[in-house]
Amino acid sequence: MKRFAVFASGNGSNLQAIIDALKKKKIAAELCVVVSDNKEAFALTRALKAGIPTVVVDPKAFKDRTAMDRAIIKELKAFHVDFVVLAGYMRILSPDFVKTFRHKILNIHPALLPSFKGAHAIKDAFTSGVSSTGVTVHLVDEKVDHGPVIAQEALKIKKADTLKTLEARIHRLEHAMYPKIVDRFARKLSL
Ligand code: GRF
């Protein structure tokens, strides 16, 4: 069984969806560690509650991104991690990190990439007036919100949608999609 880490900086609702799917044996892999760059992240509470080890890495303790990611790589090696699942991790990974886990880092983005990159994708889509947006899961490369798309689902923006309702609908879609894609990815890696 492949082993993976989830990286999260905040709420961790996608982490929770993954934990719930694991409990139901819907993901053929083992979540062995949750990594955060934010000791206040609610994602850490979720991990602790599920009995999953956590690693907190304080960005201020390192001279640069490369040094920080080196420390994370060391931790991941100790946990024998095969692949990495980014779930609301608000940091750009160093080229070193991407190279170490080349084609083994997944990210979820709340828009249809390459549209609406960045940290405010739902709001940007909503205010731009597009008639649909969606969710993308992709492999991470050296560029931000970039890399081979492995799954994409569209969602129509309804006339009655407010930013709040659209956010809720996007998150629901993410929570349905991500555990499935993680499972599919883990099974492919195991072949
Ligand atoms: C999600 O919308 C994800 O697409 C984006 O960051 C958000 C994280 O939410 N990358 P959560 O922490 O999983 O609740």
Give residue-wise pLDDT tens across range 96-115.
Answer: 999 999 999 999 999 999 99
pLDDT of residue 108: 98
pTM of this prediction exceeds 0.95: yes
Write the Ramachandran bin of 115: left for phi over 0, alpha for psi from -120 to 50, otherwise beta. beta
Give the tokens for residue 93.
């990974």
- Mean pLDDT along residues 123-151: 97
pLDDT of residue 60: 97
Q: Whose CA is nearest to atom 1 of ligand 1?
A: 88
Angle at 10 between CA 2 and CA 91, to 5 degrees: 75
pLDDT of residue 106: 98
pLDDT of residue 80: 98
Residue 147, φ and ψ in degrees, nearest 5? 130, 165
Please compute, for residue 120, the number of CA atoms within 13 A of its CA located in the half-sphere on the CB side. Answer: 6
Residues lining ligand 1, CB < 6 A?
A: 8, 10-15, 87-88, 108-110, 174
Q: Which residues are catalytic?
A: 109
Q: Whose CA is nearest to atom 9 of ligand 1?
A: 88
Q: Are strands 29-36 and 54-56 parallel, antiparallel or unpaired?
A: parallel
Q: Whose CA is nearest to atom 6 of ligand 1?
A: 88
- Mean pLDDT along residues 17-46: 98
